[in-house]
Structure 1
Amino acid sequence: MPPQTQVKSSGSRGDAVTGKPISNTQRALGKLREMIFAGDLPAGSNHLETELAAQLDMSRTPIREALLMLEGQGLLELQPRKGVRILPISPGDMADIYDVLTELESLSAERAAIAGHPASAFAPLEASIDDMDKAIAAGNLDAWSAADDRFHRELVQLGGNGRVKAIVDMMSDQVRRARAITLALRPLPTKSNEDHRKVFQAIKDGRPDIARETHRAHRHHAKEIIVDVLEKHRLRFV
């Protein structure tokens, strides 16, 4: 296992958005997620809680609590007396996850178009699409990925169903992780930007059927691309 750089903790820090202090568990959760997405904790690797606690310069209690949350999100599994195993990315699992997200996000698009939101409510959604276009023009796939995350998050928010949001949030980390690994191996996501703008326009125009079906087709296409890449390069990710 490659050596890791120790992450120093300096006590309670404020949340970047709310300014409120965050707990050691929240900090551990955020850092461990970053390490998984960055590949510092690669798929299929095993780690002891004591090892992770030392890397983050924390006690085992917040590490343990964070690991339990990450297990619930499907990113790892806790193995009795063996520590933690970072779960590999399964093409079959990703296909199942995309099927669920497709239906829930398409429902959100439909509900957003029906809701009669004021024009100002659509500004964050439109801004995310503009940022995706700028990222593609600049060849910055990381910036595109971040803007794409915002688009899907704002879409579900506009749908106004809290239970849908909770389920999508639970699955979104696995999609982010698979996309981070496959993004450089897939075609440039210009079609994704075009699809997003069509969904946005249908929602803004109050056309729920078009919003729902356009988003469903978009997610089906994304699923085909990411599952195909995972299958072709499967040995690299397990």
Structure 2
Amino acid sequence: MKDQSSKTLSSTQRAVRELRRMIVSGELAAGTDHLESELAQTLGMSRTPVREAALMLESRGLLEMRPRKGVRILPVSSEDMREIYDILTELESLAAQRAAEAGYSEQDLKVLERSIAQMDQAIETENLEAWAEADELFHQELVRLGRNHRIEAIVAMMSDQVRRARATTLFIRPLPVQSNEDHRAVLRAIQEGKANEARERHRQHRLQAKEVLCGILEKHRLNSL
């Protein structure tokens, strides 16, 4: 019984990982419908872990489960992203403030520095996928440095939708040169222990990012896919 339970858990985790990847990459396109049996066959597993994975991804806003109709991949909604960014803006800005108050050493801030360097290099080569990965690393590390596990949990819960929206708009957005400068300013404020400045600079950065992202979704009507 124990071995069977472990096997089921492992299959569910794999189903979550693979379905999330397929949704974020667009392999499972927004607005499409899929039977559980179809997804199970694609993933090479039974329907039970697929159903359990779908329930988890439904709670993260990536899909909708419909009785007797399987699952529907939800579109990237500009309204949803505005709400999500409103929350992320306040929580991440608080994390930036707390990080500045913590008195971190240069060694403690190495990951933030490295992510900014990676973003700079990505801009130089116009490698937007590499930039997106480094940008995500910066925000994850900033939240971790804020030392609030509940903030980390809430941000993590929303990360899939943010990642998906970014992937949808990445190649039609302006080159994010200003975003790199914003990150650098936040890091400098943290290094200098300027808590209010760190919070406000990050808040302004997130507000601007929200307008860019949601503006693209609305202009190109990507939320109606």
State if a TM-score over 0.5 links the two structures: yes
Q: What does the per-residue CA deviation read over 1:55-108, in whole Å, with 9 as the maximum and x for residues that have no partner?
A: 010111211111111111111111111110111111111111100000000000
Aligned-partner residue type, residue 142 of structure 2:
L
Is 1:54 matched up with 2:35? Answer: no
Is 1:181 matched up with 2:186? Answer: no
For 1:184 and 1:96, locate their aligned partners in 2 and report how far apart those are by CA, in whole Å: 23
**2:92 corresponds to which of 93, 105, 112:** 105
Is 1:117 matched up with 2:110? Answer: no
More RCO (CA 8 Å, sep 6+): 2
Aligned-partner residue type, residue 211 of structure 2:
E
Structure 2, unpaired ranges of 5+: 1-8
**2:138 corresponds to which of 151, 176, 191:** 151
For 1:236 and 1:85, locate their aligned partners in 2 and report how far apart those are by CA, in whole Å: 14
For 2:50 and 2:191, locate their aligned partners in 1 and report how far apart those are by CA, in whole Å: 44
Structure showing the higher helix proportion among its residues: 2
Overall identity of the aligned pairs, in % = 61
User: Structure 1: which 4+ aligned runs deviate by more than 6 Å?
Assistant: none
Residue 196 (structure 1) aligns with: 183
**1:66 corresponds to which of 53, 56, 59:** 53
Q: Tell me how many residue pairs correspond in the alignment.
A: 217
Structure 1, unpaired ranges of 5+: 1-21
Is 1:212 matched up with 2:199? Answer: yes
SS of the counterpart of 1:23?
helix
For 1:195 and 1:114, locate their aligned partners in 2 and report how far apart those are by CA, in whole Å: 19
For 2:170 and 2:80, locate their aligned partners in 1 and report how far apart those are by CA, in whole Å: 18
For 2:18 and 2:113, locate their aligned partners in 1 and report how far apart those are by CA, in whole Å: 30
Residue 5 (structure 2) aligns with: none
For 2:50 and 2:18, locate their aligned partners in 1 and report how far apart those are by CA, in whole Å: 10
Contact 2:36 2:50 in 1 (8 A): yes
CA RMSD of aligned residues (A): 1.2
TM-score calculated relative to the size of structure 1: 0.89
Residue 4 (structure 1) aligns with: none
Residue 118 (structure 2) aligns with: 131
